[in-house]
Amino acid sequence: MAIQDPIVEGLAKGWNHIDASQVSAPLTLEADVVIVGSGAGGGVAAEIMAEAGLSVIIVEGGPLKSSESFNMEERRAYPNLYQQAASMKTKDKAIGIFQGRAVGGSTTVNWTTSIRTPDHALAFWAKEKSVKGLSTETLAPWFAKMEQRLNISKWEFEPNRNNMALKQGCEALGWEYTVIKRNVAGCWNTGYCGMGCPVNAKQSMLVTTIPAALERGATLVSRAKVAKIEYHQDKIFGLKAQALSQTLTPTGVELLFKAKHYILSAGAIHTPALMMRSKLPDPYGIIGKRTFLHPTVLSGALFNDAINGHSGAPQSIYSDQFVWQNGAAGDLGYKLEVPPVHPILIASKTLGYGQSHADLMAQFNQLQVTIALVRDGYHPDSQGGQVELTDHGFTLDYPLNNAFWEAARRAFASMAELQFAAGAEKVLPISEGMSMLSSWPQAKKAIAEMTLAPLKTIVASAHVMGGCPMGEDPKMSMVNSEGRSHYFDNLSVMDGSLFPTSLGANPQLSIYGITARNATLLAQELKLKS
Amino acid sequence: MNRRTFLVTALAGTGALALGVNLYSPSYVGVNKHLNSEHQLLFSLLVPVFLDGALPQTESLRVAAQNRTIDAIVATMALLPTDARDELEQLLTLLESRLGLLLLTGSMTPLLLRTPNELIEMLEKWRSSYLDMMVTAYQGLRELVVASYYACPEHWGRLNYEKPILFS
């Protein structure tokens, strides 16, 4: 059965796409709006700007891929679709970070979980971070709009066995759980969302807003890395970019983008890094600081029956039992989810080598994995990390302190209790020195005594937020509550870097909804000016 | 695996090279440095240790899986960002020089002359070291080797895993 490929079809009928790797001489392009990045923020902004009749250029550092090239193998997906071939780590190597790098950004490779911004986060931002106008009520129509646009609805299928274990554990213990809403249409339920959807069911930016913008005449420039923002006084007057080769190294060809308005949607690492490289004014030293990850710890469990965690919707159940239990500013809470189980992902995020590792991998199909995403950025001792520039790019310094480790220990205990309650035979907290635990009482004792430390405990993250926070007070924010720069008339930020804290929830729908609001307000203003 | 098998396996497909050649190459050993430009020999020693128990039992299949993994490692390294690749290159270069070995392992004995158990001892020391540099060296090599091995569909048989066939 042939699968419709909107990218291949669109290119064939004449969309404006420039693959910068093929550009051999310097190029200057001009439009009403230039958007840097094509992920959750850039994609939504591009569609709204183009719909408003404005001319748009989308500049993306990664390649333009389509379902044609999504072959459900990690060895192709990671180098093609992820930042640093999915091997990105924090400065001390203690946290592995998964972030998308292709047209569609992380939405091309995420696991489809769609959650509105939690009330607790919005209330905290309003009270503590000078954010105005973003409440559950004011954002509701924007979330509703994006849910409709991206086919976001509750996943009504039976959860796969991996997610079912989370549900059964919660039911047995009387813990809260929720059926996840997913952004899919005509999903085949194969479980390969993280490698690019091979059937174009996932309603990522790659198959929704970017094609819609291109249909309306927008220009997409892929494999172009914006290196510097050029400005004078309170105006941005251009973006300098480097064309990248097929392997994403600079070819030496320079590109220049000029616009009436510039939108940075490069994500919570690259937006601040670009601002820092360009030496934008930052009188209060805010850019790149308070970057948040939802640092995540993992618990493996062996079941007697086949879990087949690679098959079926990767995430369809979550539990918020422990996220806000101590209040927003109290001890760090954690969200319980399950990740899909694929060979490289699991081989690299487990411990050891040789026979013990081979034995664990041999039980691959019996392995259930639960993850706890720690809600960072609210407690005074949870200041997140800091983006720093290096000779070749950037690094993220993200110290893991006691406040985090205390949450991690509680999370390991919750995950083990949950997995045993769901019928696990054995549970393995993924941290050096731990062995398979055979019962909840044994696990409880072992987890209370286990050593937790950077590089000893596996910590990962697929959510990067903050670093260019919004708010009305310039002493704690770089942009206002509509994403407009405090320092430049014609600069906006529309991505996860806006968030003053982490969310305590998977970020894609928050970025969609808040960007839809801000981009609509901006488009109205730009149209009035033109 | 006895020591002789280990050495033979390690050398299969990579040619006769010597680690530690910078300072230690006996004059009668002909070394073609070009053949080792991508650290194949070093990985031919480390791969069987990291993947003991995962590699096929049959020798010809095992050698093929090791060589396939080494090819995948070289391909993976080419994809790493500059900073990460530079760090890894530094580590590999240290492991290929006797002074580097002394620094990292406390012994100048070339890795080629160490038994599998001695290599395991070396990895375990790094793994549990109080020095972050040692732990990250262990983790970097471990992740590179296991990820490269399990990247290859031909190595998925033991997992009873295969990707779905969507289109015929």
Q: What is the pLDDT of residue B109?
A: 87
Contact residues on chain B for A361, CB-CB shorter than 8 A? 54, 150, 158-159
Q: Tell me what the mean pLDDT of segment B76-89 comes to.
A: 86
Residue A271 has pLDDT above 80, yes or no: yes
Of A198, A344, A365, the CB nearest to B151: A344
DSSP string, A231-257: EETTEEEEEEEEEE-TTS-EEEEEEEE
Q: How far apart are CA A43 and CA A33, in angstroms?
A: 13
Q: Please tell me the distance in Å from B15's CA to the nearest CA on chain A.
A: 25
Q: How far apart are CA B140 and CA B135, in angstroms?
A: 8
Q: Please tell me the distance in Å from B100's CA to the nearest CA on chain A.
A: 22
| ipTM > 0.90 for the complex | yes
Q: What is the pLDDT of residue B45?
A: 92
- pLDDT, one tens digit per residue, over A272-328 is 999 999 999 999 999 999 999 999 999 999 999 999 999 999 999 999 999 999 999
Cβ B166–A198 below 8 Å, yes or no? yes
**And the tokens for B39?**
């650290």
DSSP string, A407-461: HHHHHHHHHHHHHHHTT-SEEEESBTT---B-SHHHHHHHHHH----TTTB-EEE
CA of B151: which chain A residue's CA is closest? A75
Cβ B72–A79 below 8 Å, yes or no? no
Mutant choice from B45, B77, B146, B155 vs A, greatest count of A C-beta within 10 A:
B146
Q: Tell me what the mean pLDDT of segment A492-516 comes to.
A: 98
At residue A195, the 3 state secondary structure works out as helix
Q: Given pLDDT bands bounded at 50, 70 and 90, which one contains residue B36?
A: low
CA of A80: which chain B residue's CA is closest? B79
Q: Tell me what the mean pLDDT of segment B108-137 comes to.
A: 92
Q: How far apart are CA A107 and CA A100, in angstroms?
A: 7
CA of B147: which chain A residue's CA is closest? A344
Residue A510 has pLDDT above 60, yes or no: yes
Q: Tell me what the mean pLDDT of segment A33-51 comes to.
A: 98
Q: Which one-letter DSSP state was computed for residue A31? A: E
Q: Given pLDDT bands bounded at 50, 70 and 90, which one contains residue B168?
A: low
**Could you tell me if B26 lies within 8 Å of chain A, comparing CB atoms?**
no
Lowest mean pLDDT segment, chosen from A77-86, A283-292, A367-376, A416-425: A77-86
Q: Tell me what the mean pLDDT of segment B62-66 comes to.
A: 94
Q: How far is CA A488 from the centre of its chain?
A: 27
Q: Please tell me the distance in Å from B18's CA to the nearest CA on chain A.
A: 25
**And the tokens for A31?**
């439009």
Of A72, A311, A455, the CB nearest to B136: A455
Lowest mean pLDDT segment, chosen from A128-137, A197-206, A413-422, B157-166: B157-166
**And the tokens for A464?**
């990067």
DSSP string, A103-117: TTGGGGTS--EE-PP
Mutant choice from A353, A357, A455, A459 vs B, greatest count of B C-beta within 10 A:
A353
Reduced 3-state DSSP string for A297-346: EEEEEECCCCCCCCCCCCCCEEEEEECCCCCCCCCCCEEEECCCCCHHHH
Lowest mean pLDDT segment, chosen from A11-25, A441-455, B27-41, B106-120: B27-41
**Could you tell me if B165 lies within 8 Å of chain A, comparing CB atoms?**
no
Q: Tell me what the mean pLDDT of segment A492-514 comes to.
A: 98
How many A×B Cβ pairs under 8 Å?
113
> What residue has token string 């012994």?
B107
- pLDDT, one tens digit per residue, over A449-491 is 999 999 999 999 999 999 999 999 999 999 999 999 999 999 9
Lowest mean pLDDT segment, chosen from A66-80, A285-299, A359-373, A480-494: A66-80
Q: How far apart are CA A491 and CA A275, in angstroms?
A: 11
Q: What is the pLDDT of residue A14?
A: 97
| pLDDT, chain A, mean | 97
Residue B152 contacts residue B72 (beta carbons within 8 Å): yes
Residue A35 has pLDDT above 80, yes or no: yes
Q: What is the pLDDT of residue B5?
A: 39
If one counts every other C-beta atom within 10 angstroms of the C-beta of residue A233, the result is 8
**Could you tell me if B15 lies within 8 Å of chain A, comparing CB atoms?**
no
Phi-psi category of A66—alpha, beta or left, where left has phi over 0 and alpha has psi -120 to 50?
beta
Residues with Cβ within 8 Å of residue A276, at least 6 apart in sequence: A287, A288, A387, A389
Residue type, A117: T
Cβ A354–B53 below 8 Å, yes or no? yes
**And the tokens for A29?**
């392009």
Q: Given pLDDT bands bounded at 50, 70 and 90, which one contains residue B17?
A: very low
**Could you tell me if A353 lies within 8 Å of chain B, comparing CB atoms?**
yes
**Could you tell me if A358 lies within 8 Å of chain B, comparing CB atoms?**
yes
**pTM score of the predicted model:** 0.94
Of B78, B81, B146, the CB nearest to A353: B146
**Could you tell me if A311 lies within 8 Å of chain B, comparing CB atoms?**
yes
Residue B29 has pLDDT above 60, yes or no: no
Cβ A74–B54 below 8 Å, yes or no? no
Residue B1 has pLDDT above 50, yes or no: no
Contact residues on chain B for A310, CB-CB shorter than 8 A? 161
| pLDDT, chain B, mean | 79
Task: Give the H or E element holding residue A19.
Answer: strand A16-19
**And the tokens for A304?**
């007697």
Q: Tell me what the mean pLDDT of segment B66-78 comes to.
A: 92
Q: Tell me what the mean pLDDT of segment A108-130 comes to.
A: 98
- pLDDT, one tens digit per residue, over A50-60 is 999 999 999 99
Q: What is the pLDDT of residue B30?
A: 39
Of A343, A356, A456, the CB nearest to B161: A343
